[in-house]
Chains A and B, each alone.
Chain A
């Protein structure tokens, strides 16, 4: 019960000095990069590429140095980036060679990550396991990823960079309400990492849901319910800066689904809608279309429908609060962050990676070649490498398709202009499960 949220969540003191790898030169190099200010605000595309290229060999050498059971020495050789099994890297490696080290999300289900962990992460209790919901059928369980405190310490910095950049200022005060239960900060990456970072920055973090008691054979997802008291408290707080962090389905259930008496009941219980987030308030959403009804085909439908009721201000005269949509994945230590947008904007919701996340857009599932100059608006398969994940090579093909966005060095958001350090993308869809017609077995 060391977590800060009713005993749950990432512990405040990560005690990284106890982790021997904290003296590793690569870790130190990352600290140096991150301590030089928020590089999202200053780096050009070229700077980001140079940084990633500069880190390429140190990154790979880090895994050779900290290898467990020669997993990476063998992997690097078998995947064609090392000359031999002793860990001697080929001399002409480029960033696009990282695709050779790809892991598919399904490879991280069950015990999939275990063999890939470096020494400090094997059997360690200085860290946390993050799990996906486990609802995908025909798999060997949920995606299950261990994050050591060392990686979590970097995540505080990188995810902090991302949110500061998106909001347009260093976040260091205010209140936030996660529309989820504190228990979820023990296994849900987005909840754990987001709440940790905001708490670390000094914000008052609360949770708008709770886990009810129920039969032993039910899952936490089946027992979750609203924490009316916490929500009411957050909504009625007079703070100027409130961040309301919800999923699409959460917003839908609170503000769209209830009609008639239920709507009235909701208003009575929560004293909302409308929700007043203070003049600097922002609505942050994530989770995509998960568990939303079929008629909802995009999250923008939800924020448009709720936009008039979530206000940046303390009265009806305030503007609709800007919305930041985030793409969070269990198998990514960093989120891919959106920019503040009016809920009524028709602009596509572009997501941006941290410069320490190398992103490549691949041709297709049957041709995993990184595309050199992606065509804006065209659909590609996403691949990323989190260069600051130190527990395993986080080079992931998550099975998501994205549209390339126009590569602009500066963009305008609802909260001002932003420098862009690395091209963004627009989330498109998950890979289709439908296998269509297939020639069936039988003899011929």
Chain B
């Protein structure tokens, strides 16, 4: 029995315990997990990898695929997500995550952290211990991040509760329940509907009254506002780890482009096409920095880029009204001296806008702008005369209606020589970007990398410091 409902008024009809019978078990489960062996959990999760290659595993994956397509997920991105799902469980990936020197050696398993007392010097040792109770809030656009959070939380020794979208919540729980692991026993689901007034009441109650240690929100502006506002009233002061809507940009050195046009075009097209440009890393604006001092336009590159985009084209559902708005955006761009490159084959389903010095959309009003979440194969490439102008342009990305709700730039895709790339790295620090990548890592995450500046393993654990000269045995 947990004691966090003590102050609750009896007359209120909403009670989270009436809806979720596992609520009262959370505290016991936390104790139970804390007594278990970390390495055993890690090994257990690694065993999911061969399972997914087995017939049973393939059946499970096929069933997830059918469910996702039934919901309306685009075919291509569903395939990519499910292909990558098994990667989360590969022993190599998990070892890299947990033996991650970039995560600070203190949280790396090299020295047996997570289960053993690590002696740093004679008077200071520490244990890495789970934080306890994690709430993961999933977004509806993808399943991988939430599954990653659930699995890492479990390995770290936490009990996890998932508030998932009605849309894909069933897919995620089906997978967790279907994999050969006790993870499912320590994972619970709320499945509350924001739009339902009763559900919202229960959700608010859960946010305010359950003593979460961490709330990990994968969601958009509305979701983040909702969770942040309500969690503020929680006396346990949970740490909120919000993965906000971010975006990617591409920075191209013109001289590099001229010598590597085919590669840049192909790699950029791939970056744009993957997952319908809906990843926080997908480039949605780009810059060609003229370091040649010749002032000639990169026309041939735009032709190549459209060709490459056509080759990789994946059709998404047609939203008629969005295409009218899109055409208004494109004619707005034309009317303001930008050049608009469209596909002869797919019309404005592939649109690349060539602008000079600044984004043509800085003065576009909201009613003309197709939401970034509805745009596909759409990129504005701005030709600039100097590297110095990039700082201002990148800072303004999120202020435009075309990037409404986007908090900042997450990923910078760079095409340049070593000197240029180094400049981009310096720029990335100034604009607060999280990643500078080559095109391969637009979609993929390196197992060693932090997610938007945070290592989930760090977020789901803390250091229990042992200080002084009193001797201890390994807790085991």
Give the docked Cα–Cα distance between A397 and B348 (Å).
Answer: 15
A442 touches B348 (CB 8 A): no
Do B373 and A440 have beta carbons less than 8 Å apart? yes
Does A369 lie at the interface of the complex (its beta carbon under 8 Å from any beta carbon of B)?
yes
- How far does the alpha carbon of A109 sit from the alpha carbon of B246 in the complex, in Å? 32
A104 and B327 within 8 A (CB): yes
The interface residues of chain B lying within 8 Å CB-to-CB of A367 are 346-348
For B320, list chain A residues within 8 Å (CB): 365, 431-432
Q: Which one of A139, A437, A443 contacts B317 once the chains associate, using CB atoms below 8 Å?
A: A437
Interface size class of A (residues with CB under 8 A): 20 to 34
CA–CA, A138 to B144, complex, Å? 34
Say whether, besides A442-B140, A442-B141, A444-B279, A436 and B244 are in contact (CB < 8 Å): no
Q: In the complex the two chains form, is A439's CB within 8 Å of B373's CB?
A: yes
Q: Is the CB of A106 within 8 A of B145?
A: no
Residue-by-residue, is A221-254 near B (CB-CB < 8 Å gives 1, otherwise 0)? Answer: 0000000000000000000000000000000000
The one of B77, B144, B374 that contacts A438, using a Cβ cutoff of 8 Å: B374
- B319 to A107, Cβ gap below 8 A? no
Is the CB of A301 closer than 8 A to any CB of chain B? no
In the complex, whether A168 has a CB less than 8 A from a CB of chain B is: no
Q: A259-287: which have CB < 8 Å to B?
A: none
Interface residues of A in 96-114 (CB under 8 A from B): 102, 104, 106-107, 109
Tell me if B48 counts as interface (CB < 8 A to partner A): no
Given A106-B328, A441-B221, A444-B280: A435 touches B322 (CB 8 Å cut-off): yes
When the two chains form their complex, are residues B245 and A444 in contact, meaning their CB atoms are under 8 A apart?
Answer: no
B337 interfacial contact with A, CB 8 Å: yes
Which chain A residue shows the least CB distance to B336? A78
Q: Which residues of B contact A437 (CB under 8 A)?
A: 71-73, 317
Tell me which residues across on chain B come within 8 A of A69, comparing CB atoms: none
Q: Which of A78, A79, A106 neighbours the largest number of chain B CB atoms within 10 Å of its CB?
A: A78
One digit per residue, 1 when the CB lies within 8 angstroms of any chain A CB and 0 when it does not, for chain B 60-79 equals 00000000000111100100
Q: Chain B's nearest CB lies how many Å from the CB of A274?
A: 42
Known: A79-B334, A107-B328, A435-B321. A441 touches B347 (CB 8 A): no
**B243 on the interface (CB 8 Å rule)?**
yes
Given that A104-B327, A366-B318, A431-B320 are known contacts, is A443 also in contact with B145, CB under 8 Å in the complex?
A: yes
Q: Are A443 and B321 in contact (CB under 8 A)?
A: no
Q: How far, in whole Å, are A79 and B374 apart by their CA atoms in the complex?
A: 25
Contact at B319–A444, with CB atoms within 8 Å?
no
Q: Is A428 an interface residue (CB 8 A)?
A: no
Within 8 A of A (CB), among B280-334: 280-281, 317-328, 331, 334
A433 part of interface (Cβ distance < 8 Å):
yes
Give, as a whole number of angstroms, the nearest-CB distance from B441 to chain A.
13
Identify B275's interface contact among A75, A107, A441, A444, CB under 8 A. Answer: A444
Please tell me the size bucket of the interface on B: 35 or more
A440-B335 contact, Cβ under 8 Å, with A432-B320, A435-B319: no
B278 sits at the interface (CB 8 A)? yes
Contact string, B203-240, partner A, CB cutoff 8 A, digits 1/0?
Answer: 00000000000000011110100000000000000000
Chain A positions 280-314 with a Cβ under 8 Å from a chain B Cβ: none
Q: Separation in Å of the B317 CB from the closest CB of chain A?
A: 5
Q: Which residue of B lies closest to A364 (CB)?
A: B347
Docked Cα-Cα span, A440 to B73, in Å, equals 11
Name the residue of chain A whose CB is nearest to the CB of B366.
A140
- Residue interface bits B196-208, CB-to-A below 8 A is 1, else 0: 0000000000000
Interface residue? A68 (CB, 8 A): no
Contacts of B278 in A (CB 8 A): 439, 444
Are A365 and B324 in contact (CB-based, < 8 A)? Answer: yes
Q: Which one of A74, A369, A438, A440 lies within 8 Å of B319 (CB-CB)?
A: A438
B405 within 8 A of A: yes
Chain B residues lying within 8 Å of A127, measured Cβ to Cβ, are: none
| Alpha-carbon distance A442/B336, docked complex (angstroms) | 31
From 385 to 418 in chain B, residues with beta carbon under 8 angstroms from any chain A beta carbon are 405, 410
Contacts of A413 in B (CB 8 A): none
How many angstroms from the CA of A309 to the CA of B77 in the assembled complex?
58
CB <8 Å contact, B317 and A436: yes
Interface contact B327-A140, CB-CB below 8 Å: no
What's the minimum C-beta distance from B422 to chain A, rounded to whole angstroms? 28
Q: Which of these, B71, B243, B324, B336, contacts A443 with CB under 8 Å?
A: B243
Q: A443 CA to B280 CA in the complex, in Å?
A: 5
B220 and A442: CB pair below 8 A? Answer: yes
Contact between B319 and A443, CB atoms less than 8 A apart: no
**B122 at interface (Cβ–Cβ under 8 A)?**
no
Does A363 touch B at the CB level, under 8 Å?
Answer: yes
- For residue A374, CB closer than 8 A to chain B, the reply is no
From the candidates A363, A435, A440, name the one contacting B140 in the complex (CB within 8 A): A440
How far is A366 from B280 in the complex, measured between Cα atoms in Å?
A: 25
Question: Is B142 interfacial (CB-CB < 8 Å)?
Answer: yes
Which A-chain residue is minimally distant from B219 (CB atoms)? A442
Partner of B335, one of A74, A104, A106, A366: A74
Residue contact A444 to B144, C-beta cutoff 8 Å: yes
- Complex contact A436–B347 (CB within 8 A): no
In the assembled complex, A399 has its CB within 8 A of some CB on chain B: yes
| B204 CB → nearest A CB, Å | 21
Q: A441-B221, A442-B141, A442-B245 are in contact. Are A102 and B331 (CB under 8 A)?
A: yes
Cβ distance A33 to chain B, nearest Cβ, rounded Å: 30
B49 adjacent to chain A (CB < 8 Å): no
- On whether the beta carbons of A441 and B323 are closer than 8 Å, the reply is no
Give chain B nearest CB distance to A47 CB in angstroms.
Answer: 32
Which residues on B sit within 8 Å (CB–CB) of A104?
A: 324, 327-328, 331
Please give, as numbers and ranges, the residues of chain B lying within 8 Å of A109 by CB-CB distance: 367
Interface string of B326-362 (1 = CB under 8 A from A): 1110010011110000000011110000000000000
Asked if residues A443 and B374 are in contact (CB atoms below 8 Å), the reply is no
Assess whether A368 is interfacial by the CB under 8 Å rule. yes
B327 touches A397 (CB 8 A): yes
Cβ of B452 < 8 Å from any Cβ of A? yes
Given A74-B335, A364-B347, A436-B319, A443 contacting B218 (CB threshold 8 A): yes
A-B contact pairs, 6 of them (CB 8 A): A79-B334, A102-B331, A140-B367, A368-B348, A442-B220, A444-B142
- Chain B residues proximal to chain A, CB less than 8 Å: 71-74, 77, 139-142, 144-145, 165, 218-221, 223, 243-246, 275-276, 278-281, 317-328, 331, 334-337, 346-349, 365, 367-368, 372-374, 405, 410, 452
A→B interface (CB under 8 Å):
74-75, 78-79, 102, 104, 106-107, 109, 138-140, 363-369, 397, 399, 431-433, 435-444
A-B residue pairs, 8 tightest by C-beta: A442-B139, A367-B347, A437-B72, A441-B220, A365-B323, A443-B243, A431-B320, A366-B347
Known: A106-B368, A439-B141. 13 other contacts (CB 8 A): A78-B337, A79-B334, A102-B331, A104-B327, A106-B324, A106-B325, A139-B367, A140-B367, A364-B323, A366-B326, A436-B319, A442-B218, A444-B145
